[in-house]
A and B are shown apart, each in its own frame.
Chain A
Amino acid sequence: DAGVIQSPRHEVTEMGQEVTLRCKPISGHDYLFWYRQTMMRGLELLIYFNNNVPIDDSGMPEDRFSAKMPNASFSTLKIQPSEPRDSAVYFCASSFQGARNQPQHFGDGTRLSIL
């Protein structure tokens, strides 16, 4: 059974470029979460979806960040334009019936470096 799949695993790009991170949740899961992990701030929830609809995006740091979930099997997190302070590991996670009731299944993350 495939887990949560994230791509790319690593991304290095220059400041000002557009970055798109991708996530394929586990089939049948109705919740999808995007997190950012840094040494300074730990693990932060950016946004989460239920049945492809954004429920809470209060963690999205700025308008430069946007996330979409066009269907149940795919989500993107986009940063435009990117800045060096966006460098972090970005995780996607999915769950069935929400994180309070069921475990979140995490992908292996995308390590993003903005030069």
Chain B
Amino acid sequence: AQSVTQPDIHITVSEGASLELRCNYSYGATPYLFWYVQSPGQGLQLLLKYFSGDTLVQGIKGFEAEFKRSQSSFNLRKPSVHWSDAAEYFCAVGAETGANNLFFGTGTRLTVIP
């Protein structure tokens, strides 16, 4: 069955430093993969998505993610973090059955220090 693991519960980076958030998935076929961001007191917002094709996908706010089938990973990256990037980040995978719902990871909370 499909599932997503985000091994890092909390990450702290300095403003201007690079960022990589890890996501590992379990899925029988080619997965539909997503990264969402949640700011405090708000709902989730889509950052980027991967369906097929180019394994490096670009998203909003300067984020990108790379799909690596051999490692079952879909890590999120940003070359230079801004203080406004402090939030909770969720990786998600589409249902294997073709049903139109997603399975979310437990999230990684990002703290940015000046």
Whether B90 and A50, one on each chain, are in contact in the complex, defined by CB atoms closer than 8 angstroms, is: no
Alpha-carbon gap, A24 to B106, bound state (A) = 26
Indicate if A45 sits at the interface (CB-CB under 8 A).
Answer: yes
Q: Which of B32, B44, B98, B105 has the most CB of A within 10 A?
A: B44
Given the interface pairs A108-B41, A108-B43, the reply to whether A99 lies near B94 with Cβ below 8 Å is yes
CB-nearest residue of chain B relative to A97? B100
Indicate if A43 sits at the interface (CB-CB under 8 A).
Answer: yes
Whether B105 and A104, one on each chain, are in contact in the complex, defined by CB atoms closer than 8 angstroms, is: no
Given the interface pairs A100-B94, A106-B45, the reply to whether A45 lies near B105 with Cβ below 8 Å is no
Which residue from A43, A91, A108 sits with its C-beta under 8 Å from B107? A43
Whether A33 and B44, one on each chain, are in contact in the complex, defined by CB atoms closer than 8 angstroms, is: no
Whether B102 and A99, one on each chain, are in contact in the complex, defined by CB atoms closer than 8 angstroms, is: yes
Which residue from A93, A95, A100 sits with its C-beta under 8 Å from B43? A93
Whether A106 and B100, one on each chain, are in contact in the complex, defined by CB atoms closer than 8 angstroms, is: no
Alpha-carbon gap, A33 to B103, bound state (A) = 12
CB-nearest residue of chain B relative to A98? B100
Indicate if B19 sits at the interface (CB-CB under 8 A).
Answer: no
Indicate if B17 sits at the interface (CB-CB under 8 A).
Answer: no
Alpha-carbon gap, A31 to B102, bound state (A) = 12
Whether B100 and A91, one on each chain, are in contact in the complex, defined by CB atoms closer than 8 angstroms, is: no
| B43 contacts across to A, CB distance below 8 A | 4, 91, 93, 105-109
Given the interface pairs A99-B94, A103-B49, the reply to whether A45 lies near B44 with Cβ below 8 Å is no
Q: B residues bordering A, Cβ < 8 Å?
A: 32, 34, 36, 41-46, 49, 51, 90, 94-95, 98-107
Q: A residues bordering B, Cβ < 8 Å?
A: 4, 31, 33, 42-43, 45, 48, 50, 55-56, 91, 93, 95, 97-101, 103-109
